[in-house]
Amino acid sequence: MAEGDRALSAPARIARPATAKQAVADEKQYLRAVLSEARTALSAERAGTLSVQVQRRLLATPEYRTAKKILLYAALGGEVDTILIATDALRTRRQLYYPIIDRGLCRLRLGAVADLGELRVGALGIAQPPVSAAREAGDLGSDPGAALVCVPGVAFTPVGARLGRGGGYYDRLLAELPGETCAAGLGFSFQLIDRLPEESHDRRLDFIVTESAVYAASAAPPAATQTADRGGLPKWAC
């Protein structure tokens, strides 16, 4: 057998088609790389200006104005900041929560704070309440409009699909939330793209807020009812 024939016959050399699940995972990873790079390329000054605009739009929504409990995140790696929202929530005497990372179970619990000085850098370098204050997501209550959950993301779509960092922490948290809890994604306009790869366990958000607009997505069907057509990049990335 010729050397070239031996190379072709070796099992390790045979290209195998990727499974649908692997194709989705690969596409998500590609989108994360492209959009994370775009986000980190923002100057601190520009990111701060845009973050203020995003937060002001969120504060003006009826979902925020009527919520009695607010779950925020401590921004990391160029994410939309939430300090204005936190300050307003405390000023208006709403119950303010932040996630507490449980790395052992790969999930998020919640911790209430009465002052932002209670936050300390915890797992993954993210500021969070003391672990001793941890509570379950169900403590937010199931009354319609009682709680507003704000989540970060690498990318979003106008109909509420979200792409996270890849750890699945927020996916699990969203699945644990009471059904009537309102969830909002905060992002910059360039993070909003036409389509994202989705899987049946993904929960879409109720609305997306950028510095340019608020996109109400509550009428969109859940990810599990969508067709297999997935993915898409913003036009500037093509």
Report whether pLDDT(95) > 70: yes
Report whether pLDDT(3) > 60: no
In a domain, 4, yes or no: no
Report whether pLDDT(73) > 80: yes
What confidence score (pLDDT) does residue 180 get?
79
The CA R_g of the chain, rounded to the nearest whole Å, is 20
Q: What is the CATH number of the domain that holds 94?
A: 3.40.50.10420
Residue 144: DSSP 8-state: T
Burial code of 192-227, b = ≥16 C-beta within 10 A, e = fewer?
Answer: bbebbbbeeebbbbbbbbbbeebbebeebeebeebe
pLDDT tens, position by position, 126-182: 999 998 888 888 878 767 668 999 999 999 999 999 988 877 889 889 888 877 789
Residues 6 or more apart from 194 whose CB is under 8 A from it? Answer: 157, 158, 232, 234
Residue 221's pLDDT band, with cuts at 50, 70 and 90, is very low
Cα–Cα distance measured from residue 178 to residue 164, given in angstroms and rounded to the nearest whole number: 21
In a domain, 8, yes or no: no
How many domains, the chain? Answer: 1
In a domain, 3, yes or no: no
Report whether pLDDT(90) > 80: yes
In a domain, 27, yes or no: yes
Domain of residue 165, residue span: 20-233
Averaged over 107-124, what is the pLDDT? 91
What confidence score (pLDDT) does residue 144 get?
64
In a domain, 88, yes or no: yes
What confidence score (pLDDT) does residue 142 get?
66
Report whether pLDDT(19) > 70: yes
In a domain, 13, yes or no: no
Residue 112's pLDDT band, with cuts at 50, 70 and 90, is very high
In a domain, 52, yes or no: yes
pTM of the predicted protein model: 0.79
At 226, phi and psi to the nearest 5?
Answer: -80, 160
Percent of the chain with pLDDT over 70: 81
Q: How far apart are the first and last CA of the chain?
A: 45
What confidence score (pLDDT) does residue 233 get?
35
In a domain, 11, yes or no: no
- The per-residue pLDDT of the chain, averaged, comes to 81
Q: Which residue has the higher pLDDT, 229 or 22?
A: 22
**Cβ pair 64, 31 in contact under 8 A:** no
